[in-house]
């Protein structure tokens, strides 16, 4: 369990506390209860020491990573406008050629005596992909359709941050149909005044 990157005192204290509590399944005396509180405080202190220790070590790496990400983003941002312009120009050109070929083919069908050999093609040199996505224009209508069973419930996802905020504010008075409140309790270190 010892971590060679942590100060020796920290690893000794942690392993002492961890090994002391490995087999304990219940607190049976006031003395064991007091020892648990003391050891929990020690582990909380060591947790802060560990976080601080690694924060210093990660800071340089994170700074370097941020610089690389910024350089990459800037390089990509430099070419993005031209990429988008070229894509639009290529699509326009290909669409114009296709429209003209289709127009020529329709003319040839109307006047076969004037027609020369017409090649109709959808000659697109760049592959295209269409993506479809939904846009909710009327949330009330969508919710009504779910309630009526015409749309599966997965179509509406609850906004958990909003519901959690309501639950924290309203506590025992929270009342939203289909939503219950779950209360979790945690031990917290006393705040010094």
Q: How far apart, in whole angstroms, are the C-alpha atoms of residue 71 and residue 153?
A: 44
Per-residue confidence of the chain (193 residues) as pLDDT tens digits?
A: 456 678 888 888 899 999 989 988 899 999 999 999 999 999 999 999 999 888 988 998 999 999 999 999 999 999 999 999 998 998 898 888 888 888 888 888 888 777 666 554 555 567 777 778 888 999 999 999 999 999 999 999 899 999 999 999 999 999 999 999 999 888 877 765 5
DSSP string, 133-180: ----S-HHHHHHHHHTTSS-GGGS---HHHHHHHHHHHGGG--BTTB-
């Amino acid at each position: 369990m010892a971590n060679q990157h942590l100060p020796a005192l920290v690893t000794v204290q942690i392993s002492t506390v961890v090994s002391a509590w490995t087999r304990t399944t219940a607190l049976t005396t006031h003395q064991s209860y007091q020892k648990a509180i003391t050891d929990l405080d020690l582990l909380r202190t060591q947790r802060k020491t560990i976080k601080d220790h690694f924060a210093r070590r990660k800071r340089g790496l994170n700074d370097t990573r941020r610089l690389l990400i910024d350089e990459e983003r800037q390089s990509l941002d430099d070419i993005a406008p031209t990429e988008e312009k070229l894509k639009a120009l290529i699509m326009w050109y290909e669409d114009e050629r296709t429209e003209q070929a289709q127009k020529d083919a329709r003319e040839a069908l109307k006047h076969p005596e004037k027609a020369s050999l017409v090649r109709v093609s959808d000659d697109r040199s760049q592959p295209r992909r269409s993506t479809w996505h939904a846009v909710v224009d009327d949330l009330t209508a969508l919710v009504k359709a779910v309630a009526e069973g015409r749309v599966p419930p997965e179509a509406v996802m609850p906004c958990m941050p909003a519901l959690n905020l309501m639950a924290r504010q309203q506590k025992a008075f929270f009342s939203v149909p289909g939503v219950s409140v779950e209360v979790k309790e945690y031990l917290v270190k006393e705040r010094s005044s």
